Amino acid sequence: MRWHRLLSVALGLGLAGCAGSGAGDGTRSASITAADAGVQEQAFGASGRRSVKALVYVLHRDRTGAQAEESDRFARELAQASPGARVIALTQSESIGDAESRGFTRERINRLADYIEARSKRYPGVPTVLVGDGGGAALAANLAGLRPKLVDGLVLAACPCMLPEWRKHMEKRMPRGTFKPAANSLDPLMTVGGVRSETKAALLVGANDPITPPKFSRGYAEALALRGIATDFRVLPGKGNDILTDPEVLSATTRMLAALQAPR
């Protein structure tokens, strides 16, 4: 199944790449707010135009409470570890309906992309990295495929990056009828053709993750490699699903930021 889907991806890379570079751009406004994008933001680190050397957006897994706190904690620690980085933790707004909050729809992705593009205009020439956790990782992967010019680096933790297979996995784990992801969600494995070849990527997943087992990250990592994209795929021994605040994820992100800011 995995290799059949990867072959389909490889055959469609040219078409997906063309679609990713321009399709779905829509109307963009420099005045778009976090509320317009359906998120709430918390910023850490550098803020002045001259002091900001990199932009990092941390997309959590669409939960509140402890998960949102983990996202803020990671963003704070990353800002401390990477001087010059402006790190923005994004949490899902309660105004977004349940159906869409569980999905990765084109509308939702473009709304978030418009927000990121508007913020990036404040810091021209500065690299942008997306760090995604769980559902936030799938959202980041799809955004990189649909709006590739906005993304220089991807760090994906515990990603459900093979959406149809992951849905089947979750349906087996949960009582019938309780798991209802949006039907029109985009599968990261099928938008991967739009990711720029220059993008840097890191995927990390716990070896004992029961929610998003390593196979769902491995398949996407292989698809990135087929595109010639530099990809660091790591399975963390003994770790489960909650790995955003694991030192390995912070280390992978700081290394990526250092590489993106290095003189060329």
Burial zone of 174 (CB within 10 Å; 0-12 exposed, 13-18 middle, 19+ buried): exposed
The predicted-structure confidence for 47-104, as pLDDT tens digits, reads as follows 888 899 999 999 986 555 555 688 889 999 999 999 999 999 988 754 433 444 457 8
Reported pTM: 0.85
In what helix (H) or strand (E) does residue 154 lie, and over which residues does it extend? Answer: strand 153-157
Q: Are 140 and 130 in contact (CB under 8 A)?
A: yes
In what helix (H) or strand (E) does residue 233 lie, and over which residues does it extend? Answer: strand 231-236
Nearest Cα neighbor of 137 from 59, 194, 247, 211 is 59
Q: How far is CA 164 from CA 133, 186, 188, 189, in A?
A: 18, 10, 10, 10
The 3 state secondary structure assigned to 179-209 is CCCCCCCCCHHHHHHHCCCCCEEEEEEECCC
Q: What is the CA radius of gyration of the chain?
A: 17
List the chain domain ranges: 36-261
The predicted-structure confidence for 95-150, as pLDDT tens digits, reads as follows 433 444 457 889 889 989 999 999 889 999 999 999 999 989 999 999 999 999 99
Q: Which CATH number fits domain 36-261: 1.10.3210.10, 2.60.40.10, 2.60.40.1120, 3.40.50.1820?
A: 3.40.50.1820
The predicted-structure confidence for 147-179, as pLDDT tens digits, reads as follows 999 999 999 999 999 988 988 888 887 766 556
